[in-house]
Structure formats: structure tokens, C-alpha cells
């Protein structure tokens, strides 16, 4: 996979009290493979999902996802 978003991390605008980050880790016929990391007072949860290219682009365009230069590990510590 290549392109402007590959291996970049994004912060998800979402629920108060939960920090959620998304990292593009691959690509398949359905869209992008992403790693979602959610951090809350109950702990850290990671899931691997697939998101369509169209939905991902819409999330970037609307500001639901914004590029985050720091690695998730910096927010967990």
C-alpha cells in the first residue's frame, strides 16, 4: 500500500472521555485495513477493521478524522 495516508495516525472526533486513534496498516479489495485504538479510564482496546475508501475519504473531508503526529504509545503512557 502506498499513498498520502499510509501508516499515518489519525485522531477520531468522538465520545467524551474516550480517546480514539486510527492507523492505516494495509489495503484490500474492500478498502483500507485499519487499527483502531481506544483509550478510556477502563483501559486500552485495539481492534483491526476494514473501512471503505469512500467512507475514509469522507471522514477526512468532514474533519471526523484529523492527522495526529504522535504515536498512540505517547498517549497511553
pLDDT at 69 over 90: no
Residue from 9, 23, 12 nearest 68 by CA: 9
Question: Could you identify the residue written with the cell 489495503?
Answer: 27
The answer to whether the beta carbons of residues 36 and 24 sit under 8 Å apart is no
Per-residue pLDDT reduced to its tens digit, 6-63: 568 899 997 788 899 999 988 889 899 999 999 988 899 999 999 999 999 999 999 9
Q: How many residues does the chain have?
A: 77
Residue 11 in grid coordinates = 485522531
Which value, in Å, is the radius of gyration of the alpha carbons in the chain?
12
Q: What angle do CA 35, 27, 23 make, to 5 degrees?
A: 25
Higher pLDDT, 55 or 68: 55
Domain ranges of the chain: 9-64
Amino acid at each position: 500500500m502506498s499513498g498520502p495516508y499510509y501508516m499515518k495516525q489519525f485522531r477520531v472526533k468522538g465520545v467524551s472521555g474516550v480517546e480514539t486513534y486510527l492507523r492505516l496498516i494495509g489495503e484490500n479489495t474492500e478498502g483500507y485495513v485499519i487499527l483502531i485504538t481506544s483509550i478510556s479510564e477502563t483501559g486500552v482496546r485495539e481492534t483491526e477493521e476494514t473501512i471503505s475508501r469512500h467512507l475514509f475519504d469522507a471522514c477526512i473531508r468532514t474533519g471526523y478524522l484529523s492527522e495526529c503526529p504522535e504515536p498512540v504509545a505517547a498517549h497511553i503512557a
